[in-house]
Amino acid sequence: MANLADENKFFADVCKNFDSAAQFTNHPEGLLNQIKACNSVYRFQFPIRRGNGFEVIDAWRVEHSHHMSPTKGGIRYSEMVNEDEVMALAALMTYKCAIVNVPFGGAKGGIKINTKQYSVAELETITRRYTTELIKKNFIGPGIDVPAPDYGSGEREMSWIADTYMTMNPGQLDALGCVTGKPIALHGIRGRKEATGRGVAYAVRECVDVAEDMAKIGLKAGLGDKRVIVQGLGNVGYHSAKFLSEFGATIVGLCEYEGAIYNPNGLNVDEVFAHRKNTGSILGFPGAQDFKNSMEGLEQDCDIIVPAALENQFTEHNIRNIKAKIIAEGANGPTTPEAEAIFTEMGGIIIPDMYCNAGGVTVSYFEWLKNLSHVAFGRMENRYAANSNANLIATLENLTGKTILPEHRLMIVKGASEMELVNSGLEDTMIHSYHEIRETRMNKPATQTLRTAAFVNSIDKIAVSYMNLGVWP
């Protein structure tokens, strides 16, 4: 049985990080307490029929902050989920949205089940019943609270939620905006599935491109010579590894719950993924060293570690064994405050979760905008831009007497697709937000870490929102 003290530590850790940053702001204590507190915590239970009997399911939805509407956050399907975890994740969503300038308050949901123990029909029943409970209490809607995928959930579950909401709200024009992470067929957005992992890769790239910061930790600028270990081969971990590899890094280690593999010469992520699909395990991959203990895989030689699994992976008990100079938090809360303090003393840099994994909510914001506007990005201007560029090329060829090669013409003429626009918006967001955080850290040296600087930025933005709303004098 899980230790109750451990179960109720995650939200306290988030609050501890908040308090560490709050001392570098000038806001009154009462306002800081309002920002820190969870505004609404809805815990409920509902029965489902299983076989000849019934089973009672525990579930939660937490809306941490209403300084912006709607609130936004994923739904976690896990037998490990508990109220403290959902509160902590909701709080992180508030700060995350503020950091990347996405106009949402933070929220999170949880359903306490092991998805592998239920049939697809049972999972659908659970998801639809969960959605119905949220509707009854006004905890979901395009202008109220907008869920998204999280650990254990994906496009399938989001489509069930959207369908349930539309069924119970007939004629609501913006009903599809009640949830993001939907399939394209249900007006989801291209690039959403890989958005969090792509955002992690952008975050790491921005960090290592600052030569001044890399020199302080004994590394060269750029991703070209960086060795990376990724924990988790789920959606976030897989795409983080994939895009970091495309950006020039070498993936030397991959860790999963069944163990870890390591090859100093590099691993092909797609080949490892295929191997695991065929064998049920990453272990035994040709040319790689196996570790039965996943944590042992994280302790191998590398420059960057991307924890993309669950919280509390690095604690004061194991952080000194980590050889990486940079931890890029693809998961929420993988490093405890005590571990971060030690790692900082060791001269390492942590790219904090509240910024590093914000790619998902950023692209969810784009999807929400798409649902409210009822038109796909690029649909109105794509063909016009292509025709205009083609006319420009033709004019230049007539004036110069020179012909542009077909492959070059194609690159110049084409209009931007929805995927390209989404990725461009995500990249711009991650670049701008990183340097905003770094600037705060440089201007306030006492903040010491990127996490504290990120909290300072988010607290300042949220405080302004409360004051502009007239909630605070």
235 marked as binding residue: yes
252: closest CA among 198, 204, 215, 289?
289
pLDDT computed for residue 4 by the predictor: 45
Amino acid at 315: T
Residue 316 sits in the same domain as residue 458: yes
Residue 293 sits in the same domain as residue 145: no
369: closest CA among 105, 196, 188?
188
Whether 383 is in a domain gets the answer: no
Q: Quick check: 154 and 181 in contact, CB under 8 A?
A: yes
87: closest CA among 101, 97, 73?
73
The 10 Å CB-count burial string (b at 16+, else e) for 271-297 is ebbebbeeeeebbebeebeebeebeeb
End residue of a domain, out of 186, 217, 244: 186
CA distance 417 to 378: 6
Give the pair of three-digit tokens for residue 289.
């060293």
CA distance 127 to 135: 12
Helix (H, G, I), strand (E, B) or coil at 255: strand
Helix (H, G, I), strand (E, B) or coil at 304: strand
Residue 162's CATH number: 3.40.50.10860
Low-confidence ranges of the chain (pLDDT < 70): 1-8, 469-473
370 marked as binding residue: no
Residue 237 sits in the same domain as residue 374: yes
Whether 7 is in a domain gets the answer: no
Whether 253 is in a domain gets the answer: yes
364 marked as binding residue: yes
Q: Quick check: 135 and 142 in contact, CB under 8 A?
A: no
In degrees, rounded to 5, the angle at the alpha carbon of residue 429 between the alpha carbons of residues 425 and 433 is 175
Residue 367 sits in the same domain as residue 218: yes
CA distance 127 to 10: 25
CA distance 353 to 350: 9
Whether 345 is in a domain gets the answer: yes
Q: What is the pLDDT of residues 323-364, one digit of tens each?
A: 999 999 999 889 999 999 999 999 999 999 999 999 999 999
Residue 155 sits in the same domain as residue 246: no
CA distance 197 to 450: 20
Residue 162 sits in the same domain as residue 234: no
Give the pair of three-digit tokens for residue 250.
């070498």
Whether 455 is in a domain gets the answer: yes
Give the pair of three-digit tokens for residue 436.
């905003």
Residue 331 sits in the same domain as residue 363: yes
Q: Which domain holds residue 57?
A: 38-186
Contacts of 223 (CB under 8 A, 6+ apart): 204, 205, 208, 209, 244, 247, 248, 249
The 10 Å CB-count burial string (b at 16+, else e) for 172-202 is eeebbbbbbbbeeeebbbbbbbbbbbbbbbb
pLDDT computed for residue 9 by the predictor: 86
For helices 195-208 and 235-246, angle between their N-to-C axes, nearest 10 degrees: 40
Residue 254 host element (H or E): strand 250-256
Q: 289-291 and 304-307 as β-strands: parallel, antiparallel, unpaired?
A: unpaired
Tokens 């994740």 -> residue: 89
End residue of a domain, out of 186, 219, 248: 186
Residue 411, exposed/middle/buried by CB under 10 A (0-12, 13-18, 19+)? exposed
Whether 74 is in a domain gets the answer: yes
| Active-site annotation, residues | 108
CA distance 451 to 447: 9
End residue of a domain, out of 165, 186, 207: 186
CA distance 187 to 192: 12
Residue 249's CATH number: 3.40.50.720
CA distance 141 to 114: 27
How much is the pTM? 0.90
Whether 411 is in a domain gets the answer: no
Whether 221 is in a domain gets the answer: yes
CA distance 143 to 175: 10
The 10 Å CB-count burial string (b at 16+, else e) for 316-351 is eeebeebebbbbbbbbbbbbbbebbbbbbeeebbbb
Number of domains comprising the chain: 2
Q: Diameter of the chain by CA atoms?
A: 81
Residue 80 sits in the same domain as residue 228: no
CA distance 201 to 207: 10
